[in-house]
Amino acid sequence: MYLPRLLAGTLKKALSLFPAVMVTGPRQSGKTTFLLHEFGKECDYVTFDDPLERNFALADPHGFLNRFQKRPVILDEIQYVPEILPYLKMRIDKRREETGKWLLTGSQQFQLMKNVSESLAGRIALLELPPFSLLEMKQGASVSLESILWVGGYPEPAIHPAKRELWIRSYIQTYLERDVRQLLNVKDLRGFETFLGLCAAMHGQTFNAATLARKCGVSLPTIKAWAGVLEASFLCRFLLPYFNNYGKRLVKTPKFYFIDPAIVCALTRQPSGEAAIAGPMGGALFEGLIMSEAYKVFAAYGRSADIFFWRSNDGLEVDLIVQIGHRLCPVEIKLTATPTLKHLEPLSRFARLVGKEVVGTGLLVCRVEAKKVLPGGVLALPWQEFPAWLEDQVKVLDI
């Protein structure tokens, strides 16, 4: 069973404009399946997971690339052979007018992106394929909130929920034993596993590196390096606070979220989706889901996710600020099915602070059955409809 991906249109557009396109994202987010489904019939395909292909590319890069004279090619898991990128640059520079020739995938950010930017700057479009979004999963079947939080968006458990427990446990273990060691030379995997569990417990909270260092018994620089590993392997996102002053955003403490709620449920040992949503982490899991959906919509259209949170000096907070062009749309995220005036207070405060000429429609994303207008023009929106609402806003930016 194949579910169409929203990134398909953006990828086709990028291939018509650039000699090379790289699709990044976490392991098992469906990159290879996506590319083979969309372009497999018209492209050659090589994976650098294959040690024979990897060794060939390293030992004889010109000979390796000479194989692909006529047809476009998919080079899968390019992070294993970054040494080939300068040779790829030479090929592209000889035929700069040829677009859509090289289609690359990679699952790790930091060193890979450094190599790509050094070798292929101006020659390659960078796109990201996260796990399934709600918009993509709804093309297959309707899903409940409990099911989404429990099964998550990775294609394998999302399409085959019966595999969920074994698949996620294996994914986490493989991540620890493979990606962590490749991205950073972590000798104490048990210590990193403890760090991973503590991060899951603080999902949706401000990232307190000093507290984590104390609880894990390691230094502050180590915690920051480990957090970089989580981000480099696409497991998490840091949500910056909103300030008019861009410099302040960078130095203030961000909030921390895992991209996929099923990973959080597994790491915090939730017994079921129903128990997770009814327990103390229910609100954080729901908030993280909506934040993740916002990030996925932007990624599907090849855009950086201009999303933030806002907190006043006296602790009032807007969960999500979405920047659409020059407009700021404040979003409150609550599990409630019964909105009250109290839920609207942070939205009103933010609007007064920033100014009506800048603030767009205020949203209360919650479990109401149908959207309705609340006092102050705030729109109460069923959580299932938020991705489609945001997609409509992002589409306008491309017109």
Please determine, for residue 340, whether its predicted confidence score (pLDDT) is greater than 80: yes
Are 19 and 105 contained in the same domain?
yes
pLDDT of residue 149: 96
Question: Residue 154: inside a domain, yes or no?
Answer: yes
Q: Are 233 and 128 in contact (CB under 8 A)?
A: no
Please determine, for residue 263, whether its predicted confidence score (pLDDT) is greater than 90: yes
Are 253 and 168 contained in the same domain?
yes
pLDDT of residue 365: 97
Alpha carbons 365 and 380: distance in angstroms, whole number: 6
| Phi-psi sector, 72: left (phi>0), alpha (psi -120 to 50), beta | beta
Please determine, for residue 338, whether its predicted confidence score (pLDDT) is greater than 80: yes
Structure tokens, 288: 């993280």
Taking residues 92-109, report their average pLDDT: 87
Alpha carbons 323 and 337: distance in angstroms, whole number: 26
Task: Give percent above pLDDT 70 in the chain.
Answer: 93
Do the strands 317-324 and 327-333 form a parallel or antiparallel pair, or are they unpaired? antiparallel
pLDDT of residue 206: 94
Side chain identity, residue 264: V
Question: Residue 297: inside a domain, yes or no?
Answer: no
Which whole-number Å values give the CA distances from 370 to 144, 224, 325, 376, in the listed order?
15, 43, 27, 18
CATH number of the domain residue 277 falls in: 1.10.10
**Residue 283 phi, psi (nearest 5):** -65, -40
Question: Residue 149: inside a domain, yes or no?
Answer: yes
CATH number of the domain residue 344 falls in: 3.40.1350
Taking residues 139-161, report their average pLDDT: 88
Structure tokens, 164: 């969920």
Which of these, 340, 351, 337, lies nearest to 383 by C-alpha position? 337
pLDDT of residue 142: 66
Alpha carbons 215 and 260: distance in angstroms, whole number: 24
The total of other beta-carbon atoms located within 10 Å of residue 379's CB is 17
Q: Give the helix/strand (H/E) hosting 91.
A: helix 85-94
Structure tokens, 389: 């609402």
Taking residues 215-240, report their average pLDDT: 90
Q: Are 228 and 108 in contact (CB under 8 A)?
A: no
- The residue with greater pLDDT, 188 or 281, is 281
Please determine, for residue 114, whether its predicted confidence score (pLDDT) is greater than 70: no
Tell me: the pLDDT tens digits for 121-137?
778 899 999 999 999 99
Taking residues 11-37, report their average pLDDT: 94
Taking residues 130-149, report their average pLDDT: 86
Tell me: the pLDDT tens digits for 26-40?
989 999 999 999 998
Taking residues 140-148, report their average pLDDT: 80
Range of the domain at 216: 136-290
pLDDT of residue 398: 65
Q: What total number of domains does the chain contain? A: 3
Alpha carbons 250 and 243: distance in angstroms, whole number: 10
Are 220 and 351 contained in the same domain?
no
Taking residues 253-278, report their average pLDDT: 96
Q: Give the E-state strand segments of 12-77 in sequence order.
A: 20-24, 44-47, 73-76
Q: Starting at the edge strand that comes first in sequence, how are the strands of the sheet with 73-76 ordered?
A: 44-47, 73-76, 102-106, 20-24, 124-128
Structure tokens, 154: 């990775």
Question: Residue 90: inside a domain, yes or no?
Answer: yes
Work out the pLDDT band at 109, boundaries 50, 70, 90. Answer: low
Tell me: the pLDDT tens digits for 288-317?
999 999 999 999 999 988 999 998 888 889
pLDDT of residue 141: 56
DSSP 359: B
